[in-house]
A and B are shown apart, each in its own frame.
Chain A
Amino acid sequence: MLRSERRSLLRFLTLYALMAVAVVTLVSYLYYRSSERIMLLEKKAMMADYAATQIRRLERLHERFPRERTYPRDPRFRSAIYDVEYRQIFSTMRNNAVDFLRDIYRKYGVIHFVKLLDRYYLGAKYLFIEIPDDRRWVASTVRKIALGAGGSLLLLGILGWYLARLFVRPMRDSIELLDRFIKDTTHDLNTPLSTILANVEMIDPARLAPEDRKRFERIEGGARSVSTLYEDLKFATLESERPLQIEPFAMEELVQERLEFFEPLIRARGLRIHRDLEHAPIRADRQAMARVVDNLLSNAVKYNRPGGTVTVRVGPGILEVADTGRGMDPETLETLFERYRRGDDAEGGFGLGLDIVQRILRRHRFTIEVHSRKGEGSRFTIRWKES
């Protein structure tokens, strides 16, 4: 899966997961509130009876006050009375944080039921009845919510996976179409390209007139550039999965060989080469490493400024290719190794080069670092463990 594809999928799944969790949370909350409401309704009838009993006792006390001053108590509930100005007249309740606007509610482990009196016995307009909240309903509700939410999230997860696949299918289809196209094109490129290169090799530039020699160098450079592209396409479509053929070889020799191959192209572009090649033994797939070197050199040529320099340094465990081109901003660096990602549309290409480089290096467990500064150039550094 490509990085951009993976990122789109991740974004979609994150958004979907957030929405799914939000919906499940909201439904769970509503269910919890509804269970609480049902429990309170069940308690309400009982507490209304308690209130009626207490009102009769308040009426009797009102008639006998002040000869009798003992506030009526009941083992089944606690109570409090408040006047019309919300002032407490008397209370036996544990929790006196009362709410005058709701008829029944839970608060700090108790349930309060509020009854408004028609006649204000002892001045009481509000009678609060308090019973403890045993919270048995909470355990049962939470268990149901956990089961329901778990099941819903599982179903939504399966649906999300299905939707995610639908979501990325157009992207995947386009990539597969492009892969197929490249595969077909690669087959057809082989014969004409081989013919061009074979004939180019047979021509001796020294025997050409100076203006023809210049044209010939351009043709040779162009042919080698197409050859690099062809090798990339072949590798990307036909050889990427072949087993690596690890062998010991000298990296500086491979680099020197590839520099010679690129020399006509470099000359045609008017670039200078600065090489520093020390002995660098390596154990790797030579053919694959040639693709790595070719791509780095090809990019250094392609994205260099006119009259710029390509610097190649090889040493024990290190290969560095640097250019003096336009460089890249940090945003571009982030997606540099993505497949079909081109540095510059004006330079053409399929955007396969650095994807191939990265895939080869990953298979070898080699590392690559890129340092680039806008307007100054880029430097690619490959490191491997010395053999």
Chain B
Amino acid sequence: MHKIVFLFLILAATLTAKSAEQNPFDRNCVPCHTSVGVSLRKTFMNALLVYSGKENMKAGLAYFLRYPRKDISVMGEKYFATHALKEPTTLDRRELEEALEIFWERYKVIGHLR
């Protein structure tokens, strides 16, 4: 019996790890932002100030991630005094779409005000 429970836990841990590994947002965006010390929440709120709606934001950010330029970044000029401009993303279109969808759902304001 103990063996069965142990094997089940091993299997669940493996699947969870696999799932996290397959999420392009957690795999690409989170580690990068963590390493440069820029909060994803702060980034989202900055993006919200510029893009307002979900589709608009996803389209705007997708373009920036593929063709990064300082003048179209949501981070502002001060940010680039201490940080370099990011490299173009290596994610394909589908992964980028998925990552941005997760980004929106994780930090969105709609449904979180009271």
Contact = CB atoms under 8 A, between A and B. Distances in A.
- Are A and B co-members of a single complex? yes
A90 B52 contact: no
B53 A66 contact: no
Interface string A54-75: 0000000010011001110000
Interface in A29-70: 62, 65-66, 69-70
Interface residues of A, number: 20
B113 A71 contact: yes
Contacts of B56: 84-85
B50 interface: yes
B55 A122 contact: no
B114 A66 contact: no
Interface string B85-114: 000000000000000000000000110111
Contacts of A121: 49
A87 B109 contact: no
B113 A125 contact: no
Contacts, number: 56
Contact of A123 (B41, B109, B114): B109
A217 interface: no
Given A62-B45, A66-B41, A123 B53 contact: yes
A319 interface: no
A106 to B, nearest CB: 27
A123 B110 contact: yes
A134 B16 CA distance: 60
- Chain A facing B: main interface SS: loop
A70 B113 contact: yes
A83 to B, nearest CB: 4
A120 B44 CA distance: 12
B43 to A, nearest CB: 14
Contact of B112 (A69, A88, A124): A69
A119 interface: yes
A69 B48 CA distance: 16
A83 B53 contact: yes
A119 B53 contact: no
A168 interface: no
A65 B49 contact: no
Contacts of A71: 113-114
A83 B49 CA distance: 10
A87 B53 contact: yes
B113 A83 contact: no
Contacts of A123: 48, 51-53, 109-110
A85 B55 CA distance: 8
A200 B55 CA distance: 113
Contacts of A87: 53-54, 110
A88 B110 CA distance: 8
A89 interface: yes
Given A66-B41, A84-B56, A85-B55, A90 B113 contact: yes
B110 A62 contact: no
Nearest to A62: B45
A343 B2 CA distance: 121
Interface in B46-92: 48-56
A216 B50 CA distance: 116
B50 to A, nearest CB: 7
Contacts of A120: 48-52
B110 to A, nearest CB: 5
17 contacts: A62-B45, A62-B48, A65-B112, A66-B41, A84-B52, A84-B53, A87-B53, A87-B54, A90-B110, A90-B113, A120-B49, A120-B50, A120-B51, A120-B52, A123-B110, A125-B52, A125-B53
Interface of A: 62, 65-66, 69-71, 83-85, 87-90, 119-125
Given A83-B53, A84-B52, 8 more contacts: A65-B45, A83-B54, A83-B110, A85-B56, A88-B110, A120-B49, A123-B48, A123-B110
> What 10 pairs between A and B have smallest CB-CB spacing?
A85-B53, A84-B52, A120-B52, A83-B53, A84-B53, A90-B113, A123-B48, A83-B52, A71-B113, A125-B52
